Amino acid sequence: MLKAIILIVAVAVALGVYFSLSLYVFPQLYQSIEARRPQAIVTDVSLSAPDIALGQALTISVTGTNNGDDADMQIVSVGFPNLTTTDNIKILKHNFDQTPMLIAPPGELSSSGYSDTDSSVLAQYTSIEVFSRPWEAGKTYSADIEVIPKTEGRFVVFIKSVALPHTWEQAHYPQDGTLDQQKEFVETYSVEVTKP
């Protein structure tokens, strides 16, 4: 009988310790650890010419880096608000880990407003997402993209970079400016497309 009581008490104490650790101590401990803070930056953007003739190609070179902690994923997005197709866009070269994605209407962009929940939106214009998954701290990637504008006038290019998970303000670049179709800040570049 005594043996049985000792056994029951020992098992009960062990389980009490275990569930206290698992349900209270460890959760509090691990939730107090700060999430990683990746810092997305676009370090260089260059356009091949300030103005081009209609039918000529424009080359955009873009370089991004992560100056913070490791990111699970970081995207450099190049948007073309004057375009709704992808047939006149070519990726000349890149050193990102994954294959770049071309998104044109009515395609779906997987997130908006730097949200950490599913907040996909439908694309209103064409964009290219070049990304590395994961994007380690300090790593730099670049891509050269060729595009042929389809109409005369001002041809606009939106550029941004977002590190995911988006744990703090510096996880996106730029910090302010124009809001794009995903309600996220972009840097704006443009060239003048003239008659040939």
Comparing CB distances to another protein, the nearer of 85 and 115 is: 115
Among 1, 5, 31, 108, binds another protein (CB under 8 A): 31
User: How far apart are CB 116 and another protein at their closest, in Å?
Assistant: 5
With 0-12 / 13-18 / 19 or more C-beta atoms within 10 angstroms meaning exposed / middle / buried, residue 120 is exposed
Is position 106 an interface residue for another protein (rule: CB under 8 A)?
A: no
Number of Cβ within a 10 Å radius of residue 22: 10
Among 67, 91, 97, 140, binds another protein (CB under 8 A): 97
| Polymer length in residues for the chain | 196
Number of residues that bind another protein (CB under 8 A): 33
Is position 9 an interface residue for another protein (rule: CB under 8 A)?
A: no
User: How far apart are CB 12 and another protein at their closest, in Å?
Assistant: 9
Is position 99 an interface residue for another protein (rule: CB under 8 A)?
A: no
With 0-12 / 13-18 / 19 or more C-beta atoms within 10 angstroms meaning exposed / middle / buried, residue 150 is middle
Among 48, 56, 61, 134, binds another protein (CB under 8 A): 134
Among 44, 87, 116, 192, binds another protein (CB under 8 A): 116
CA distance 28 to 6: 32
> What's the distance, Cα to Cα, between the start and end of the chain in Å?
101
**CA angle, 107 then 120 then 161, to 5°:** 90
Q: Which DSSP symbol is given to 11?
A: H
Is position 117 an interface residue for another protein (rule: CB under 8 A)?
A: yes
Is position 53 an interface residue for another protein (rule: CB under 8 A)?
A: no
Site for another protein in 57-86 (CB under 8 A): 70, 72-73
User: How far apart are CB 13 and another protein at their closest, in Å?
Assistant: 9
Contacts of 40 (CB under 8 A, 6+ apart): 64, 66, 68, 71, 74, 161, 162, 163, 170, 171, 172, 173
Binding site for another protein (CB under 8 A): 3-4, 7, 10-11, 14-15, 17-18, 21-24, 26-27, 30-31, 33, 35-36, 70, 72-73, 97-98, 111, 116-118, 133-134, 164-165
